[in-house]
């Protein structure tokens, strides 16, 4: 019985791998399309849509691809674990239990990986923010409109924040108002710094307030915030560097200092 199940699982593993990597000539293409349709109809209760949208992958196809990848890896890992457990002459209950645990573990790991990518992108955007604000301030001070200044930054700069400005420009070109596109950018990038900056620009644009003063103030605050972040990171690095000094270098130094004295005392004692 176990041999039959193991052989069946061995045939299932290549199919699962084909399902995951979507190789050319995949015989499960129609099954994949059906899975995408069913996944698209399900409700997103874990915030995958929002996190993918923050990464610039807000389409339904990106969401379906992520879900298919996640479920495919879970199924393939569970199948491999089941085969290994059954080949090692363990019970079917143990195989099902361990394969289920492995599937849950892979599911959580992929979800945490997506969260980590979102946090890294948010950190990169906040690090790019001071320089981008200064460029925007200089462009507007030179006489350009906010739209043309954002377009210049999107075309000349390389980074995640310039890509967000490019998305704003694309939305405006499709007929959406500038303040609506900027507000969508602020909601998409879940950063307090970016949200305050967007609110200030939208308010100044709608009320006709001078943008240069607003941008200069935000540039100064962004530089101060970035300096505080660097100082906090340096403080944490200093504390972490004390661990090998206190627990490794200092005991070895004391041992080297006391070892000759201990050796002489042993000689006198003998």
pLDDT tens, 197-246? 888 888 887 887 778 888 888 788 888 887 888 888 777 777 777 888 77
Q: Which residues contact 27 (CB under 8 A, 6 or more apart)?
A: 15, 18
Task: Note whether 19 and 87 are same-domain residues.
Answer: yes
Task: Note whether 127 and 79 are same-domain residues.
Answer: no
What CA–CA distance (Å, rounded) separates 253 from 76? 52
> What is the band of 8 on the pLDDT scale with cuts at 50, 70, 90?
very low
Task: Note whether 34 and 68 are same-domain residues.
Answer: yes
Within-domain flag for 248: no
Nearest to 113 by CA among 51, 62, 61: 51
pTM of the model: 0.64
Task: Note whether 90 and 177 are same-domain residues.
Answer: no
* Tens-digit pLDDT profile for residues 195-210: 888 888 888 878 877 7
Nearest to 81 by CA among 66, 67, 100: 100
Within-domain flag for 92: yes
Within-domain flag for 261: no
User: The domain containing residue 187 runs over which residues?
Assistant: 123-226
8 A C-beta contact, residue 165 and residue 139: no
Instruction: Give the CATH number, domain containing residue 166.
Output: 1.20.81
pLDDT at residue 253 tops 80: yes
């Amino acid at each position: 019985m176990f041999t039959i199940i193991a052989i069946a699982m061995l045939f299932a593993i290549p199919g699962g791998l084909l399902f995951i990597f979507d190789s050319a000539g995949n015989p499960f293409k129609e099954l994949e399309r059906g899975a995408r349709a069913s996944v698209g109809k399900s409700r997103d209760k874990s915030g995958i849509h929002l996190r993918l949208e923050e990464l610039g992958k807000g389409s339904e196809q990106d969401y379906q691809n992520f879900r298919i990848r996640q479920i495919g890896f879970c199924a393939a890992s569970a199948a491999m674990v089941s085969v290994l457990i059954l080949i090692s002459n363990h019970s079917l209950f143990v195989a099902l239990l361990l394969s289920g645990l492995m599937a849950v573990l892979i599911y959580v790991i992929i979800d945490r990986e997506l969260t980590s990518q979102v946090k890294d992108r948010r950190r990169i955007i906040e690090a790019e923010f001071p320089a981008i604000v200064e460029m925007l301030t200089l462009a507007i001070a030179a006489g350009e409109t906010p739209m043309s200044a954002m377009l210049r930054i999107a075309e000349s700069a390389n980074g995640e924040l310039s890509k967000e400005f490019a998305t704003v420009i694309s939305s405006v070109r499709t007929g959406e108002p500038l303040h609506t596109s900027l507000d969508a950018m602020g909601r998409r990038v879940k950063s307090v710094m970016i949200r305050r900056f967007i609110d200030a620009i939208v308010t100044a644009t709608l009320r006709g307030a001078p943008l240069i003063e607003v941008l200069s103030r935000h540039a100064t605050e962004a530089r101060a915030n970035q300096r505080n972040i660097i100082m906090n990171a340096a403080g944490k690095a200093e504390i972490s560097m004390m661990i090998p000094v206190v627990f490794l270098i200092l005991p070895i130094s004391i041992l080297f200092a006391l070892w000759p004295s201990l050796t002489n005392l042993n000689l006198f004692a003998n």
